[in-house]
Structure 1
Amino acid sequence: MTLIAHPRSRGVRTLTLDSPHNRNALSAALVGELADALTEAGKDDGVRAVLLTHSGNTFCAGADLRDPPDPDALVALLRQIVELPKPVVARVTGHVRAGGLGLLAACDIAVASTGAGFAFTEVRIGVAPAVISLPLLPRTDPRALARYYLTGERFDAAEAVRIGLVTAAGDDVDAVLEPVLDGVRRASPQGLAETKRLLTARVLEAFDRDAADLTALSARLFSSPQAREGMTAFLERRDPEWVV
C-alpha cells in the first residue's frame, strides 16, 4: 500500500501519503488509492473531517515521472476533494512541489510547519501547471502565481500563507491544527456540508468550464519533445538542453 488510512479519532479520518521511495509523488497507484480512501471517508457517517498528511520530509513531490497518473484521474481526484461533503484539512511538515500544490489548493484548509517549502517546478521540465490550476487559480493570489508559475522559484510557508495557498503556518503544526480540528468536531455534519458547498462554488465553476481543455493541454505537453528532454534531464540530475 502506498497510502495508509488510519482509523478515525473523534470524527477525524487521517489519510497519510506513505510512498517514501518516490517522495509521495502522484503515481497512478497513489492517485487511485487516495480516491478510494476519500470515497470511503465520504460514506462513513462517523467521519466529520479528513486530515491529509504525509510520512517523511516531503508532502508530495508532484507527478511521478516514471508512473504518472492519467490527467483525467488527477482531475477527478482534485474534484473529489473539493466536492467531498466533509472538510479536508492538509497537514504539511515538508516539501511540496508541482502537483502536490494542487492537492493543497483542493483542500479546504491547509496548515504547514514553518520549515515547509513550496515550488511550481513544471516550467523547468517543459510542461505547465495545467490541471492543478483548476483549484489554484480561484483561490490563490494571481500576481504571486504568475511569478512562481513562470520561474519555478522556491518559497517558504510564510509566503504560502500570504498568497492564499496555505491557511496558517507555525513552528508546531499540530498546535496550529488543534483549534481547526476542534472547530469541525463541534460543527454539525449538515452545517459543514452546506457551508463547504458555498465556499467551493467558484472552484467547481472552474472545473466545469476548464477541466476538459486543461486535461488536453496536460496530455499534449507531457508527450512533447521538450517534456521528454525535461523529464530525462530531471531523472539524470542534469540541466535540460534549453538552460542558458
Structure 2
Amino acid sequence: MDPIVEVVALLLGFLGWVLVGIALPNRYWKTSTVNGNVITTSTIYENLWMSCATDSTGVHDCREFPSLLALNGYIQASRALMVASIVLGAFGIVAALVGVQCSKAGGENYVLKGRIAGTAGVMFLLQGLCTMISVSWYAFNITQDFFNPIYPGTKFEIGEGLYIGWCSAVLAIAGGSCLTCSCKMGTEEKYPLPYQPRGTVYSGVAPTRSVAASTYGRNAYV
C-alpha cells in the first residue's frame, strides 16, 4: 500500500472525526421561522439536546430536554449513534497512527502494521456509518413531518448541523475504505526463492580424459 494513500486516509478520518465533534453540539439540527411583524418574528431551532428560540431583537432562550425517556425514539437513537461515532473515531485515529507505514510505532513488522491499519479502516467505516444513519434518520423525520398536511405541530427544516454530519460521514467512509485496502490479513511478504539447480552437484577436481574413458569402459563392459 502506498504510504501517501495511508496518510491521506488518516487525514480524511481525522477530519471526519473533528466534524462529528462539531456536529454533535451544534444547535441547528432543525430550524423553523415563525413569521410575524418586526417584533414577533422568531426562529425556533433544536438539536439532540435542547430546543431554543430567538426573536428579531437577538434574544436567545434555550431549554434542555427534561427527560430522556420522554424523547422520541429516533432522538435517543441518534444520540447513541453520534456518541458511538466519536468513540469509534478516536480508536480509529490511534490505530491508524500505529498502523501507517511511515510511523515508527509498532516496529518494522509491516504485516502486523497492515492489519492494524485495516482495523483502523474498519473503525472509520463504522464511524461514518453511525454518523450517516444518525443524521439521515433525523432528517427523515423532519421531512416526514414537514410534508404531512395534517401534522399539527411546528414544521421544521433541515439545519446546518445535519449537513456537517453528512460531510463527516463521507470523509470517514472514504478514509476508512482506503485504510481497509491496506489490510494484509493472512498474507506474508513474498521474497524470491534462491535458485536451486536440478540434479546432484559434485565438487572436486574433474577427472582426466583417460581416467574418464577407462572408467566408462569398465562400467560398460564389466
Both proteins in one fold, TM over 0.5: no
TM-score by length of 1: 0.24
* Structure of larger gyration radius: 2
Q: Which has the higher strand share?
A: 1
TM-score by length of 2: 0.26
